Chain A
Amino acid sequence: MSRKPDTTPTPGRVSLSTWGDPLFKGITFVFAAGVLALLVAMFAVLWHESAPSRAAFGLGFLTDASWNPVTERFGALTAIAGTLISTLIALLVAVPISVGIALFLSELAPARLRTPFGVGIELLAAIPSIVYGMWGLFVLAPILSNLVQPALANSLGFLPLFSGPQMGIGMLTAGLVLALMITPFIASVTRDVFRMVPPQLKESAYGMGATTWEVVRDIMIPYGRKGIYGAVFLGMGRALGETMAVTFVIGNSHRLSASLFAPGNSIASTLANEFTEADGDLYLSSLVELGLVLFLITFLILGFAQLYLKRMSAPGGRS
């Protein structure tokens, strides 16, 4: 007899167990595929709508610094440069501070201080970016223009980087606000990475007479290198695509300048300022191509971040 034994007592159950599970699995599969579809749809619409701009400017779009709606000549160089420079400033400031915070949270802080400090850092991550932007404009920018920029100009003014208008609004301010925003992200991921270092390794080093700093430098940082790279790339991805915090303080000018004090723009701030006002197909299409460039750059960087973090973490690790 090859018939399967009937284990279900009622006919109703038979039908449910035959179509219920495949249906449930099918529905969940459709939604999971839907997440991929979102990505594909976003990419497709950006690609399709940027066609006029790609046809008109080609690859030269990426290296052209002009942005003129009247003559309909558009290039992405200023915005790309602004995005990269503000992100670089942010990383230069945020990475050392974040590693310091992570070190404090994982190694130095007394047990009863760890939770309040940890919560504080994570609250910093939860503050919406527009609040950072507004605070940067009304509080940080005046301080920079009255105190920090004159001091920098007096001491390092011979460098073109630190000469120019001391308005408090510009590339430097944008980079600092971004640094403030991404520090909690990098710090909390780095702290988790430090916590993954096996205690045996650290204790062996301490047992040999190493100081805390030597354990960090020679054991924890080498062990967690991939995870730290991941944390930095994660912060970088956030900084590249951050819109509101930057739009408030970057100054929104389409001119390339060697000075960090001068106003500039980033891809995201250009989109925020001009997208709804763009008249003319080529103008709109050029803005869409800017968005496409931003999407590709951040996707690449965040992809690296996840690769590094996945390699670092145990199976079923962080989200």
Chain B
Amino acid sequence: MPNHIDTRRRVLTNRLVMGISTLSAMLGLAMLAWILGDVALKGIHAINWDFFTKLPPPPGETGGGLANAMLGTLLLTATAALIAVPFGVMAGTFLAEFGHGGRVAAVVRYVSDILVSAPSIVVGMCVYLLVVVPSGHFSGWAGALSLAVIMIPVVTRTTDEMLRLVPTEMREATLALGAPYWRMMLGVIYRAAAAGMTTGILLAVARVSGETAPLLFTALNSPYWLDGLNGPVANLTVTLFNYAMSPYDEWHTLAWGAALLITVSVLVLTGFSRIILGTRIR
């Protein structure tokens, strides 16, 4: 019976495709395990007290650590967040509260969504041309600024989405009590959306703490202790890049250590934001 054969072929095709699909998912998890495993195994050798407390060693010498780069990355990220969070929260507030489906809000939303995935190296290049060239030197400020530019669209869009999740009734109830709009936002709506907004900010911080490209031309890197944001600032990602590309084994070890540290911090931040929101992350 041709019909019978046809059914068998359909079932076999189905099994084949389902098998491929399952294998794809397994492959994804296997790659995750492989990469994390390699980073952990190779990075763990670099992790010791010196790694967190000392300056990098000169080429070819053993010992030393990346304490200056850790401090620098923390400072750059924190400064970037200080710039980007108020900026993004305000912009997101406009989109959710005053946009009213208007054209301005639609365009800003569209542009932010694009900027979220825009190439970060171009951001670094623009900040180089706008800040580093006129001031005549690389600086932590320029680095923090380019990280902030990358954070802003993320914070803007998360704030927008989270504010729109707050029920209208809550706004009406507050306004009915005679509160002005700004008072309602500060006292009620931001609080209601706080968990979601914190998630967005943490995700943005996680994302920029692993960014390298925008720092190459702005914060540059430095083998010395942090000396303010007016000069080049040591940071983990550019250090990782330079050390991994160097010919020295000791520097390779430190680079793996940096990779482990960055990966763990990013994954912990991402995990935290997931717990806060209690739902799926993007």
Contacts and interface: CB of A to CB of B under 8 A. Distances in A.
Chain A interface mostly: helix
A291 interface: yes
B128 interface: yes
Nearest to B33: A120
A208 interface: no
B113 A212 contact: no
B115 A35 contact: yes
Interface in B14-38: 14, 17-18, 20-25, 27-29, 31-32, 34-36, 38
Interface string A219-257: 000000000000000100110111110011000000000
Nearest to A120: B29
Given A42-B122, A45-B126, A213-B17, A36 B111 contact: yes
Interface string A21-46: 10111011111111110110110011
Nearest to A298: B119
B119 A134 contact: no
B280 A28 contact: no
A24 to B, nearest CB: 4
Given A41-B130, A103-B21, A130-B210, A21 B180 contact: yes
B77 interface: no
A212 B99 CA distance: 43
A34 B211 contact: no
Interface in B107-129: 107-108, 110-123, 125-126, 128-129
A5 interface: no
A23 B182 CA distance: 9
B32 A35 contact: no
B139 interface: no
A166 to B, nearest CB: 21
Contacts, number: 271
B273 to A, nearest CB: 10
B11 A211 contact: yes
A216 to B, nearest CB: 8
A28 B110 contact: no
Interface in B188-218: 206, 209-213, 216-217
A105 B107 CA distance: 33
B68 interface: no
A244 B217 CA distance: 13
Given A38-B152, A135-B35, 10 more contacts: A27-B90, A28-B91, A38-B115, A42-B122, A122-B281, A243-B213, A244-B241, A268-B121, A287-B125, A305-B117
Interface of B: 10-11, 13-14, 17-18, 20-25, 27-29, 31-32, 34-36, 38-39, 42, 86-88, 90-91, 93-95, 97-99, 104-105, 107-108, 110-123, 125-126, 128-130, 149, 152-153, 156-158, 160-161, 164, 178, 180-183, 185, 206, 209-213, 216-217, 220, 237, 240-241, 244-245, 252, 255-256, 259, 262-263, 266-267, 270, 274, 280-282
Interface of A: 7-8, 16-17, 20-21, 23-25, 27-36, 38-39, 41-42, 45-46, 49, 96-98, 100-101, 103-105, 108-109, 117-132, 134-135, 137-139, 180, 183-184, 187-188, 211-214, 216, 234, 237-238, 240-244, 247-248, 268, 271-272, 275-276, 287-288, 291, 294-295, 298-299, 302-303, 305-306, 310, 316, 319
23 contacts: A16-B180, A24-B185, A25-B181, A29-B104, A35-B115, A103-B21, A121-B28, A123-B267, A124-B35, A128-B263, A128-B266, A180-B31, A211-B14, A216-B17, A241-B120, A244-B213, A248-B244, A275-B216, A287-B125, A291-B121, A295-B118, A306-B114, A316-B164
